């Protein structure tokens, strides 16, 4: 009996073991990793940089923008201005020409470009411009002489009409002197109180340069001296008229200075100031004495302009 029970137990164990072995084997760790689906990769969001904008753009009536427009434009520390100066020109030298000229009127116009120090305490500049000086003169004083060949028509309207040419010399006085120049120069300015955008900016100015120009003298005929007897009779006609002008190409150098202030506005500054200058002209008009070749003058002028 016990033998049959042992046999039946053995058969039951073998049958159960064969069912377990017939099942699929357990997956290995590598297979678990391979069969698992990969999670999708999400893109990293792009970083957006927000640039703060001023409440009011420069160039409008925002006082905080004045210094930006005046001293820093597109990242470069420079600026430009245009100006005009007007005032008297006092003759200071002595000589034949100087003695007959009255105090003149001077007008200067120019454009300047500036380069500033980082702390805006000072800056240097270059300038280009056009200047003009006008002087009245005492025309009764003989000053200019001009050689001339005088044509004299005799026996006008008759069969015996002839034309004689007689050398002569015209003695003239100056009625007006006009001088026009083109200039180029350099300068330096020193500033105070430039840290307050809405405040006044004061400056001290120094400049120097050269000019090239044209002088035009208007003349009045005082006397005509013939080198031989013209034998002028009644009815004869003097054809040659006097040349009542004299011109010359002039050279000039100048040195000057000034004080002034700049009033801040919307994106630009209005300038006002006082400027003085000494200059010397090298001018050679056909003088009787032939010894005066220069003019010295001192200008005292009011300046007005705009800087941006």
Residue 154 pLDDT class (50, 70, 90 cuts):
confident
pLDDT at residue 224 tops 50: yes
237: tokens are: 């006609």
More confident of the two residues 243 and 207: 207
Partner residues linked to 270 by β-bridges: 263, 306
* 56 φ, ψ (degrees, to nearest 5): -135, 125
Q: How far apart are CA 135 and CA 128, in angstroms?
A: 24
* 35 φ, ψ (degrees, to nearest 5): -75, -15
| pLDDT at residue 65 in the model | 52
Mean pLDDT of 9-32: 55
Tokens 């006044």 -> residue: 200
**Is 14:6 a contact under the CB 8 Å cutoff?**
no
| pLDDT at residue 205 in the model | 96
| pLDDT at residue 1 in the model | 53
pLDDT at residue 13 tops 60: no
pLDDT at residue 196 tops 70: no
Find the radius of gyration of the CA atoms of the chain: 48
| pLDDT at residue 120 in the model | 73
Q: Is the four-CA dihedral 94, 100, 106, 110 of positive or negative sign?
A: negative
pTM for the model = 0.71
**Is 137:177 a contact under the CB 8 Å cutoff?**
yes
More confident of the two residues 139 and 18: 139
Please give the biggest Cα pair distance in the chain: 192
| pLDDT at residue 214 in the model | 96
pLDDT at residue 207 tops 80: yes
* 229 φ, ψ (degrees, to nearest 5): -65, 120
Query: 212 in helix, strand or coil?
Result: strand
pLDDT at residue 304 tops 50: yes
More confident of the two residues 194 and 106: 106
Average pLDDT, the chain: 79
48: tokens are: 């957006």
Q: What is the pLDDT of residues 235-276, one digit of tens each?
A: 777 777 888 888 999 999 999 999 999 888 777 889 999 999
As a three-state string, the secondary structure of 57-98 is: CECECCHHHHHHHHHCECCECEEEEEEEEEEEEEECCCCHHH
pLDDT at residue 18 tops 90: no
| pLDDT at residue 56 in the model | 46
The fraction of the chain above a pLDDT of 70, given in percent, is: 71
Q: Taking Cα atoms as reference points, which of 147, 156, 142 lies closest to residue 226?
A: 147
pLDDT at residue 185 tops 90: yes
**Is 99:91 a contact under the CB 8 Å cutoff?**
no
Q: Residue length, the chain?
A: 308
CATH of domain 61-144+177-222+249-307: 2.40.160.20
More confident of the two residues 29 and 173: 173
| C-alpha distance from residue 303 to each of 32, 118, 189, 207 (Å) | 92, 27, 15, 14
pLDDT at residue 61 tops 80: no
| pLDDT at residue 240 in the model | 76
| C-alpha distance from residue 195 to each of 111, 114, 201 (Å) | 25, 18, 9
Q: What is the pLDDT of residues 74-126, one digit of tens each?
A: 444 568 899 999 999 999 987 788 889 999 999 999 999 988 887 778 889 99
């Amino acid at each position: 009996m016990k033998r049959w029970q042992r046999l039946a137990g053995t058969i039951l164990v073998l049958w159960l073991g064969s069912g377990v072995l017939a099942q699929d084997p357990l997956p290995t760790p590598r297979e678990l990793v391979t069969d698992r689906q990969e999670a999708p990769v999400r893109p990293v969001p792009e970083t957006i940089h927000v640039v703060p904008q001023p409440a009011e753009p420069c160039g409008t009536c925002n006082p905080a923008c004045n210094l930006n427009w005046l001293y820093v434009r597109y990242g470069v520390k420079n600026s430009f201005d245009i100006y005009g100066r007007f005032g008297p020109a006092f003759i200071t030298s002595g000589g034949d020409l100087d003695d007959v000229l009255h105090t003149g009127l001077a007008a200067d116009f120019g454009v300047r470009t500036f380069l500033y120090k980082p702390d805006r305490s000072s800056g240097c500049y270059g300038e280009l411009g056009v200047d003009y000086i006008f002087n009245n003169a005492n025309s009764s004083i003989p000053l200019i002489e001009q050689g001339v060949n005088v044509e004299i028509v005799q026996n006008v309207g008759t069969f015996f009409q002839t034309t004689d040419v007689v050398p002569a010399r015209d003695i003239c006085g100056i009625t007006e002197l006009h001088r026009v120049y083109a200039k180029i120069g350099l300068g330096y300015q020193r500033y105070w109180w430039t840290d307050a955008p809405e405040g006044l900016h004061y400056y001290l100015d120094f400049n120097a340069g050269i000019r090239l120009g044209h002088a035009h003298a208007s003349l009045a005929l005082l006397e005509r001296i013939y080198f031989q007897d013209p034998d002028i009779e009644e009815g004869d006609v003097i054809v040659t008229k006097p040349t009542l002008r004299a011109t010359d190409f002039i050279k000039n150098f100048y040195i000057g200075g000034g004080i002034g202030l700049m009033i801040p506005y919307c994106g630009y500054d209005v300038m006002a100031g006082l400027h003085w200058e000494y200059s010397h002209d090298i001018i050679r008009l056909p003088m009787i004495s032939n010894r005066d070749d220069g003019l010295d003058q001192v200008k005292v002028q009011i300046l007005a302009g705009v800087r941006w």
